Structure 1
Amino acid sequence: MQSSVTYLNGYSELQGTPGLRPMTNYNLNGTYILKQKYIFGLFYTHTSDYFAQTPYQATDRLALIYKNTNWNYMRMIGANVILPLSMGNWYDARLTLVGMQARQKCDRFFDVPFDRKKWLFIGTLDNSFKVGKNLSFELIGNIQTPFIQGTLDLASSFNLTAGMKWNFAKDRCSLTARCSDISNSSMPDMKVRFKEQYLDMDSGYYTRTVSLNFTYRFGGYKKQKVKGVDISRFGH
């Protein structure tokens, strides 16, 4: 919250934020569970004095300014659905859908006040495949439609993750392989096309990761039994 200025390069600078106020968050949520497995929810969030770091192109000099600024508010209202899916003993999945509208308002963002609304939809499908007793695979896909952050426009994003797990040697050994963000597209492109602001931001993030894990359990190890979920509170 200091008033200092940090120069990132010859064009970009990070300004301090003296007088930045803490944000105040209000939440209202409702959830309905059908047949102990299908989940439907509604939510409402209002954040007063919300702040975020949004870039601004100065009009009096050649400079790109990054600064945390208090907005009037950010408001989100939406719904979510969680649907479990299965086929026999070899396939299990969970589909999660989220839809919401966001409104972001700031009357004191330099000389470009904004009051913007945007619908956002998110879908995630988590798949598990069992091939025999000791071999399993997973495939997780996530997609998000374009969104906003202040004057910034965020493009759509997609994430595909795949993995496998193999238990062998009487369950003493396990080999796990996983590749996250296979298409390297989980970080959205960002741009500003608002009033006199015109900016393209290419972060150049490389988010694809590959991991390989090997586990060996020494003699005497006993796998703990997992207790079932207590559903008595549902009245059944």
Structure 2
Amino acid sequence: MKVSLFITCLADQMYPEVGESVVRILHKYGCEVDFPASQTCCGQPAFNSGYQDEAREVARNLIRAFEHSDYVVSPSGSCTGMVHHYYPHLFKDEPDWLLKAENLVNKTYEFTQFVVNILGITDMGAVFNGKVTYHPSCHAMRLLGVKEEPLTLLANIQGLEYIDLPKKEDCCGFGGTFAVKMADMSEAMVCEKAAHVLETNAEVLVGTDMGCLMNIGGRLNKEGKPIRVLHLSQLLEGGHVR
């Protein structure tokens, strides 16, 4: 199975180790992974700020980058959600590009979606002895409907003690440009989210979107709380394999 990695801006620039974990996991299950070097941003920051023309041009580049890919896999529900829900809107008046956008939609998956629903893997044989809580990101959960896949993978990690996050469906306050334009509101939201994480007494917070994890992790760090923050792929790959 040939898979192209859609790394996303945050993972590429700040968390490359997340992309490395995803690639190693895909290799483990027989995928041939490539990395189209021409990929850049998905256009979400421009789109969310109302700059649809600029977002459209960025989207064209991403469509071209993955035009010949069989499957496209990303460690981000947010960027995958952008492709799935807003690319068809961006090109609704351009039939040729709309077809290309829909082709990309049909082969693009968030990491846990692909692993569970396409590869059919629910147990990676991982072992992690510790308390873990999980933050479900808004875009993965609401735009893509990714709810059970991450929990299924977590449930099959031997030794892991899963602790449900209070008010887990509440936004962490990041929202990309929202955190810049509405900084005070964003800070209040992430403070509340961090407090709920601390309620669990978990040693590790996991998620599937680095934007959320960067935001929550930054708040926990500012408060001096020693909680590890990991993308789910890192936990799955980094534990012992039974």
Greater helix fraction, Structure 1 or Structure 2:
2
Shared fold (TM-score greater than 0.5)? no
TM-score (structure 1 length as normaliser):
0.24
TM-score (structure 2 length as normaliser):
0.24
Please tell me whether Structure 1 or Structure 2 has the larger radius of gyration of its CA atoms: 1
